[in-house]
Structure 1
């Protein structure tokens, strides 16, 4: 089994670039660090450092080991903080994962129901790709994942998807583009500059089908995994972009963009994925109860 004290010595030496400076930082003898570093290298079967002048540089194996060591000791710090904070029984913590493609203003609107609870609550929000967040949920690093699709069905992992809402989606643009393309909408979109989510986003397929149904081919000038980045490019006037119509006031205030028109039968669907069919976390209960569409379905 890996000796984490040896790994910690290696980690500090890698940061300091010198066994002598590492010994001063840790308050131990140079011989102690040197000996335990040799034991770690012997256990791993690879040299972790190469000599360079009076200092040390990481070998290829050392760089690989450092990446893992960074994660290990960051998790250790997170563990310490979590245990310290667990003494506060009056604070409720909700660890929410939010997929990149969900509009951030919509995530805020959904999670604001939680922040209005009559208890002290701390939201811890992570953003990432669907598969990564689902894995974190399975490892109980997250309490809930907000995403644009239900969890896939089948497999060994038991998670449950609760549909939070179906938000009608329209096209938005800065005032100059609205004035140019509003007359004759939606036919005016033929050849118009458009910013869209990537094909990883469930909304993209619905938009593509709508464009195909009306026989329109816009000029797609950008595709974005992250909805916030898409909106930022839209604010810069680089193209027309989709967003939930319910957020029209916030989008105008934040991105100087107005609705150009609605897309019939195109909506942003939001799901909350949790580990439990019967949700027991009070903050997730509030989140789901705030939506008239709440209904749990099993998934992987």
Structure 2
């Protein structure tokens, strides 16, 4: 394997352009330094310097090597600074999100990060495997509406970050009914799956209604698209259709379903958490 010390000696000679000055700087004898350079050349199988008079001039391979060496040392310095929490380089913020999670909600969560700038945001969508990646420190946070099951909760911290009212949303001509009973009895419905659906099933059972269900989707983005296409009245948290409601394209029925959806941020214990987490979750 490449020897870090060999690279350090090579870098000193390359930047000094003179073996004597580099040896003095490193507090080594010239012969010892020369031996280290030869060992690196032997490892790479290429000459790193041409001697021009008293100067050592980098060969083409030497120029390539010093470019890599400088970046390696910079990375090493950054590692030390990161662990000492004195780094000025901003690490990427790695966010996992349940694939069915509202894109509008994700944007609400990320908006403070995007507004301040300076951080690269890496987004990954998926399912239960996101928690495995979080546990392996491959993500900084996972956004979900489903907190970890008791068997998978060990080692994770669940932060409740928002709760959204769930309503019925659709084109205005579908929402003219005077009662919730009439609306649910006469309009086709677009329903999501999961906890919201279970709560809604309990509601219609209490009302004694068997509604017409035109579509079911496990992705809130699809629920949103179907509502925009006027396929029916959508059951969804307000945030899912916030843009369409604000523009007047869709409206919200004036009935309180007494249903909510809770949004969570899941984190794993770390000695060096991402600096944004305290701000976003505090």
TM-score bracket relative to the smaller structure: 0.5 to 0.7
Residue of structure 2 equivalent to 1:213: 206
Q: CA deviation at 1:251?
A: 2.9
| Structure 1 pair 279–242 and aligned structure 2 pair: CA distance change class (3 A) | farther
Instruction: Kindly report which structure 2 residues correspond to 1:137-148, keeping only aligned pairs within 5 A, or say none.
Output: 137-148=134-145
Contact 1:189 1:216 in 2 (8 A): yes
Q: CA deviation at 1:249?
A: 4.6
Residue of structure 1 equivalent to 2:189: 194
RMSD: 2.8
**Corresponding position: 1:285 with 2:278:** yes
The alignment partner of 1:95 has SS state of strand
- Distance in 2 (CA, whole Å) between partners of 1:197 and 1:161 is 23
Contact 1:114 1:286 in 2 (8 A): no
Instruction: Kindly report which structure 2 residues correspond to 1:64-79, keeping only aligned pairs within 5 A, or say none.
Output: none
Q: CA deviation at 1:231?
A: 0.6
Q: Structure 1: which 5+ runs fail to align?
A: 1-82, 290-300
Contact 1:191 1:217 in 2 (8 A): no
- TM-score, structure 1 as length reference: 0.59
Q: CA deviation at 1:183?
A: 2.6
- Distance in 1 (CA, whole Å) between partners of 2:277 and 2:170 is 34
Q: CA deviation at 1:241?
A: 0.7
Contact 1:210 1:263 in 2 (8 A): no
- Distance in 2 (CA, whole Å) between partners of 1:214 and 1:168 is 20
Aligned length: 199
- Distance in 2 (CA, whole Å) between partners of 1:285 and 1:227 is 28
| Structure 1 pair 107–250 and aligned structure 2 pair: CA distance change class (3 A) | same
The alignment partner of 1:120 has SS state of coil
| Structure 1 pair 155–167 and aligned structure 2 pair: CA distance change class (3 A) | closer
Residue of structure 2 equivalent to 1:243: 236
Residue of structure 2 equivalent to 1:274: 267
- Distance in 2 (CA, whole Å) between partners of 1:174 and 1:243 is 14
Q: Which is strand-richer, 1 or 2?
A: 1
Contact 1:231 1:255 in 2 (8 A): no
Which structure has the larger Rg? 2
- TM-score, structure 2 as length reference: 0.62
The alignment partner of 1:124 has SS state of strand
Instruction: Kindly report which structure 2 residues correspond to 1:76-225, keeping only aligned pairs within 5 A, or say none.
Output: 89-117=88-116, 120-129=118-127, 131-154=128-151, 157-179=154-176, 182-198=177-193, 201-225=194-218
**Corresponding position: 1:257 with 2:250:** yes
Residue of structure 2 equivalent to 1:227: 220
Q: CA deviation at 1:259?
A: 0.4
